[in-house]
Amino acid sequence: MKLTIYFLLVIIMACGGQNNEEDGFVYTNGEREKVVPTELNLSVEVLGVDSNNPSGNGTGVVQFSAVAKNAVKYGYRFNDVSEEVSTDGNFTYTFREEGIHDYKITVLAYSITGESIAFSETISVFVAEYEAKLVWSDEFEGDGTLSAQNWKLETIAPDNGSWYNGELQHYTNRQDNAYVSDGTLKIVAKKEQYTAQGTTKEYTSARLNSLFSFTYGRVEVRAKLPFGHGTWPAIWMLGSNIETEGWPACGEIDIMEHWGHDPKKISSATHTPSCHGGCTDVTVGTTIIADYNTEFHVYAVEWNKDSLRFFIDDEFVYAYNPTLKDKDTWPYTADQFIILNVAMGGSWFSVDPNFVSSTMEVDYVRVYQ
């Protein structure tokens, strides 16, 4: 059953005379005549709606299709949280909260000059009990070394004895840099001279690659991040075909990335052949967390054939869902593996000269399908 809703909407005018580059629009008021979207039509389909299931069949899947004159992109907001963008007006969203719940949906249509019209509507959606199963995990129980069945410590630097991005550490396989105790994994970045592959670095740390790889699912990592100017912890994924396809053709998924010189900012991002840093038409997810180094938080990604959706403590923070999916924009069709590491320094930031050591602590890593 398909519900089609037509709206005649109030125009929301963007104000100001400065150069405007927000959300991909670049124009100066007065240089271009304002273009206002009109006649916004929205089609909403809650999957499985019938006389016996007025709120859907329990999958929680809702398909939206919006069209408006003079619109170049559309935005969807769910309960007034982060906006998700669609260039063609089509968008599929999966609600996760079990039971029957009402959700406020806001659709926006944007013109080339950034003018927009918007409307909010409430829909009722039924979600049955979530049936995803835990298929792989490490709970980091016991004390001592890492599980050799779960992890490989990567120590060979690929760039003539160094790591890319101007990083200043050597990764080691020593228990000084990675160990399990009191139910958590500790990855310890330390200031110390260490020589490997013919080069001497001033810092050591660890980089763990999971021996489990998979296609599609939900990854959850509960972690407490290190502190200190120059630390660069990450929870991320790479395509298992990196040896044959190379980077970024293999695809990279950054579940959590943090830089100690910008301490409260947590980043969620992707890297593909079409965009692997600094692209004007691809955003990243940025979340502010003040207690990143004193409290544990759950960093997660949901990966399916259509999208990547990122969460922190079960709150949605960012989505990557390109309209055109090909090998350049969507290399996420093959197995990926999980990486946990703490780098030190980079080509665009330094390390605090008083830095001694800091630890990323991981409570668990879990994969559901």
End residue of a domain, out of 73, 99, 127: 127
Q: How far apart are CA 218 and CA 201, in angstroms?
A: 36
End-to-end Cα, the chain, rounded Å: 29
* Residue that terminates a domain, selected from 82, 103, 127: 127
Rg of the chain, C-alpha, whole Å: 23
Distance CA 294, CA 118 (A): 40
Give per-residue pLDDT as tens, 189-200: 999 999 999 999
- What pLDDT is attached to residue 284? 82
Of 127, 144, 176, the residue that ends a domain is 127
Are residues 79 and 150 both part of a single domain?
Answer: no
Cα separation, 259 vs 232, whole angstroms: 5
Q: In total, how many domains does the chain have?
A: 2
CATH number, domain containing residue 218: 2.60.120.200
Pair 91, 171 in one domain: no
What are the pLDDT digits (tens) for 217-276?
999 999 999 999 999 999 999 999 999 999 999 999 999 999 999 999 999 999 999 998
Are 69 and 97 found together in one domain? yes
CATH number, domain with residue 82: 2.60.40.10
CA neighbor of 34 nearest in space, from 151, 154, 116, 120: 116
Q: Is the pLDDT of residue 215 over 60?
A: yes
**Looking at the annotation, which residues are catalytic?**
252, 257
CB of 256 within 8 A of CB of 235?
Answer: yes
Enclosing domain of residue 268: 134-368
pLDDT at 22: 44
Chain position carrying tokens 């190379």? 246
Integer Cα distance of 221 and 312 in angstroms: 10
- Rounding to the nearest 10 degrees, give the CA dihedral for residues 82, 88, 89, 91: -60
Residue 51, C-beta contacts closer than 8 angstroms, at least 6 positions apart: none
Supply the pTM of this predicted model: 0.71
Q: How far apart are CA 56 and CA 229, in angstroms?
A: 50
Same domain, 141 and 115: no
| 72 or 27, higher pLDDT | 72
Find out whether 75 and 107 touch, Cβ atoms under 8 Å.
yes
Pairwise CA distance, residues 357 & 188, whole Å: 7
User: Do 288 and 209 fall within a single domain?
Assistant: yes
What integer pLDDT is reported at residue 280 of this predicted model? 67
